[in-house]
Amino acid sequence: MKTIKVDYLARVEGEGAVRIRFRGDQVRDVAVRIFEPPRFFEAFLRGRSWTEVTDITARICGICPVAYQMSSCAAMEDAVEIDAGPVIAALRRLFYCGEWIESHTLHMFFLHAPDFLGYPDAITMAREHREIVLAALAIKKAGNAIVRAVGGREVHPINPRVGGFHSLPPRSALRELITELERGRQSALEAIEWMGRLNYPDYECDYEFVAVDAGGEYPFIGNRIVSNQGLDIPVRDYERYFEEYQVQHSNALHSRLRQRGTYLCGPLARFNLHFDKLSAAAREAARRVNLEPPCLNPFKSIMVRGVETAFALEEAIRIIESYEGVGDAFVPVHPASSIGHGASEAPRGMLYHRYRIDDGGIIREATIVPPTSQNLASMEHDLTRLAPRMIAMTHPDATHLAEQTVRNYDPCISCATHFLKLTLERE
């Protein structure tokens, strides 16, 4: 058996590996191995208070803490039957835009773009593409500025709470971001055109795309879950339609749709399901690079992230312009024995939370299904279909294609366990 082996997949968040085994020209098996050690969040949430859920679940992921905070609020507010109202909903959407902008920009330019251009990292890329890296840093900074203004700091924000926020940021603190956001939006639009000139592997897959549905808006937080194959369910029915299962090669659970199997969530799913809800400018930017739904090539997810980034910048400006900063920062919460479900769109895809609390608001059960674990089966499916091409390739090229395939998903392995290493074995 011939073996190709890479010991650490870099430029992903967390620790994992890929192993592809061949027998002759046949692919024997493919495994995205997750060896990130488990941290048992769902276990130690038991016995904690409803008041702590935003602070604790944020610590699952330093890259997308806002997503954890927003899904946990949605689930807890479902349990205690409150609606935080339109002012808080808009501020949450703004907060989430900040995270999409910084997380997408980190992934597009620092983790993913070097794959397309053959650099080990963005810092090396900056020697020949300094303008684009500087623009990316500026966009990322603008996203972080939103998260900091609304949440208090970039990583593990302190301001969100169940019911709303501890305090409303003053109008002036948000208004002063507009110039930077507008400049970021222009840079993002130019970056989409730059990405349009990259070379994309010729590959398509007929995924079932799954995303949160937020009525007439492009989804951040929503009450329903939809797919391109007819799924349209309230978030509370999630566990009736989806199931998690454990595989031996991974510390992360996998997910599937009951009786249907593998599905894909994330930017590609949102774009394909909710294209018409993007702003006219974002749709136009997509069309200029021949990106229209259905986009079935996961390598093009980098462009979709670009479109979502430009959209999030525009959306952030829109929200800030109509923000008054007056009213109650939060709706009072009166916990009672109940179960709540919540879902939102983390930069990498749907993030589902479920909590059972008692009369004192103490958490008795917690279930958290992060996007990366939902996408692991699709990653393995893509690798299985691409593996036959790898046989004819040199070892470095094959490794590169495998790594790039995994990075299409912007995998956040710290989340999923609750890094990557490639082994190609050829018989």
Partner 1 sequence: MPRSRRAKLAVWKFSSCDGCQLSLLDCEDELLALAESVLIANFAEATSAELRGPYDLSLVEGSITTPAEAERIRRIRRQSRVLVTIGACATAGGIQALRNFKHVPEFIAAVYAKPEYISTLGTSTAIADHVPVDFELRGCPINKRQLLEVIGAFISGRKPATPAHSVCVACKRRGTVCVMVAKNIPCLGPITHDGCGAICPAYARGCYGCYGPAETVNAASLAGAWKAAGASKADMRRVLRSFNANAGEFRAAAEGLDEDD
Residues contributing to the site for partner 1 (CB under 8 A)? 8, 10-15, 36-44, 46, 48-49, 52, 55-56, 59-63, 65, 102, 106, 110-111, 114, 120-124, 126, 133-134, 137-138, 140-141, 144, 152-156, 158-159, 161, 165-167, 245-246, 248, 251, 253, 329, 403, 412, 414, 418-419
**Rounded least distance, CB 360 to partner 1, Å:** 10
Which residue carries 């902008």 as its tokens? 101
The residue among 150, 96, 101, 154 whose CA lies nearest residue 323 is 150
**Rounded least distance, CB 216 to partner 1, Å:** 32
Cα distance between residue 96 and residue 79, in whole Å: 22
**Rounded least distance, CB 294 to partner 1, Å:** 31
| CA pseudo-torsion sign 144, 97, 263, 191 | negative
Cα distance between residue 371 and residue 58, in whole Å: 15
**Rounded least distance, CB 23 to partner 1, Å:** 25
Output the DSSP codes for 344-396.
EEETTEEEEEEEEE-TT-BEEEEEEE-HHHHHHHHHHHHHHHHHHHHHTS-HH
Our CB check for partner 1 shows the closer of 46 and 240 to be 46
Tokens representing 331 are 């709706």
**Rounded least distance, CB 181 to partner 1, Å:** 15
Cα distance between residue 210 and residue 311, in whole Å: 20
Our CB check for partner 1 shows the closer of 127 and 280 to be 127
Tokens representing 36 are 């990130």
**Rounded least distance, CB 159 to partner 1, Å:** 5
Our CB check for partner 1 shows the closer of 55 and 213 to be 55
Tokens representing 344 are 């939102």
Cα distance between residue 140 and residue 142, in whole Å: 5
Our CB check for partner 1 shows the closer of 108 and 253 to be 253
Cα distance between residue 72 and residue 366, in whole Å: 10
**Rounded least distance, CB 132 to partner 1, Å:** 12
What are the residues whose beta carbons fall under 8 Å from the beta carbon of 348, sequence distance 6 or more? 64, 103, 265, 266, 267, 371, 372, 375, 409, 410, 411, 412, 415
Cα distance between residue 183 and residue 123, in whole Å: 22
DSSP-assigned letter for residue 296: -
Strands 232-234 and 422-426: unpaired
DSSP-assigned letter for residue 219: P
Our CB check for partner 1 shows the closer of 4 and 264 to be 4
Our CB check for partner 1 shows the closer of 129 and 270 to be 129
Our CB check for partner 1 shows the closer of 56 and 273 to be 56
Our CB check for partner 1 shows the closer of 114 and 347 to be 114
Cα distance between residue 52 and residue 58, in whole Å: 10
**Rounded least distance, CB 8 to partner 1, Å:** 6
Our CB check for partner 1 shows the closer of 106 and 191 to be 106
Residue 293 CA, chain-centre distance (Å), reads 19
**Rounded least distance, CB 223 to partner 1, Å:** 27
